[in-house]
Amino acid sequence: MTKAIDAHIHVQPWNELKPDVRASWVDRRPDAEWLEKVMSDPDELVRYLDRCGVERAVLINYPSPDLMGFTNATNDFVAKYRDAHPGRLIACGGVHPRLVRNAADAKEQMDRLCGGLKLSLIKLHPPHQQFQIDDYQRGNEALRAIYEKAAEYQIPIMIHTGTSIFPGARSRLGDPMPLDDVCLDFPKVTFVLAHLGRPLWAEAAFFLLRRHKNLWADCSGIPPKTLLEYFPRFSELSEKILFGTDWPSPGVRDIAANVSAFRALPLAEDVRESVLYKNAARLFKL
């Protein structure tokens, strides 16, 4: 059977979660107690990945102190967590483009993430960090610095697209269209459009992915059985879409269930292999 990489799971320092976010998310999951254990024990996660038949997982983190509760410590958390199983876990962190002091501070933080902590991916989350991804056109020099540093280190940047239901999230900022400018203005950076714009912006996501060579995507957060209804021309982009689940986000119960639902889709075998494994292996130079 094809090997699988889950390019989008959230293993985060839950001790930092704001109470209202915890109430709307963690407290509603029937497996909350076990998940708490996973968040602090990489061995527990790897045993779960084994049960799911998943070779590697990308641990998505980003600071969002005012909305989610995660501080910059989330970067140190994910680096340390990965170090327990570097052959199985891929670390993703972030710099907050609105809460850094200035461009020099953003550069310093990127040096630390990419050079020091050796993260493999940088995540930006506009609805949770309350900024627009082309704000460098309106004076946010810190954001420009983040993109320039990503080019220098050749590290991809994942950008959340689509709505978010967490308290205080600004879904308007999940519109992927500003990526059209960003991809043109920073041609040396590979961007990853997370969630294919779900649920409002599938057509925009499809247009952007066809237009820009430096734009990839993950299909996380979309129930696999509805993926082809939502994104009918999925196979045309099979060389640049990564499989991902968004586990354990609200509504995503189990990685194994999503992997087998994806495998069951009427897709050509080479499409399945590329999306489940080969594309991520290429992007992360495994």
Interface contacts to Zn ion, rule CB under 5 A: 246
Give 145 or 193: the residue with its C-beta nearer to Zn ion: 193
Give 92 or 110: the residue with its C-beta nearer to Zn ion: 92
Give 130 or 235: the residue with its C-beta nearer to Zn ion: 130
Give 145 or 242: the residue with its C-beta nearer to Zn ion: 242
CB of 123 to Zn ion, least distance (A): 8
SS (H, E, C) the chain: CCCCEEEEECCCCHHHCCHHHHHHCHHHCCCHHHHHHHHHCHHHHHHHHHHHCCCEEEECCCCECCCCCECCHHHHHHHHHHHCCCCCEEEEECCCCCCCCCHHHHHHHHHHHHHHCCCCEEEECHHHHCCCCCHHHHCCHHHHHHHHHHHHHCCCEEEECCCCCCCCCCHHHHCCCCHHHHHHHCCCCCEEEEHHHCCCCHHHHHHHHHHCCCEEEECCCCCHHHHHHHCCCHHHHCCCEECCCCCCCCCCCCHHHHHHHHHCCCCCHHHHHHHHHHHHHHHCCC
Neighbours of 59 (CB within 10 A): 25
Give 46 or 219: the residue with its C-beta nearer to Zn ion: 219
Burial classification of residue 184, based on how many CB atoms lie within 10 Å of its CB (0-12 exposed, 13-18 middle, 19 or more buried) = exposed
CB of 60 to Zn ion, least distance (A): 5
Give 55 or 246: the residue with its C-beta nearer to Zn ion: 246
- Residue with the shortest CB distance to Zn ion: 246
CB of 187 to Zn ion, least distance (A): 26
Give 16 or 246: the residue with its C-beta nearer to Zn ion: 246
The CA distance from 202 to 22, in Å, is 29
Give 175 or 246: the residue with its C-beta nearer to Zn ion: 246
CB of 10 to Zn ion, least distance (A): 6
CB of 125 to Zn ion, least distance (A): 8
CB of 88 to Zn ion, least distance (A): 19
CB of 70 to Zn ion, least distance (A): 12
CB of 259 to Zn ion, least distance (A): 17
Cβ proximity of 279 and 240 under 8 Å: yes
Instruction: Please state the separation of Cα 65 from the chain's center in Å.
Output: 18
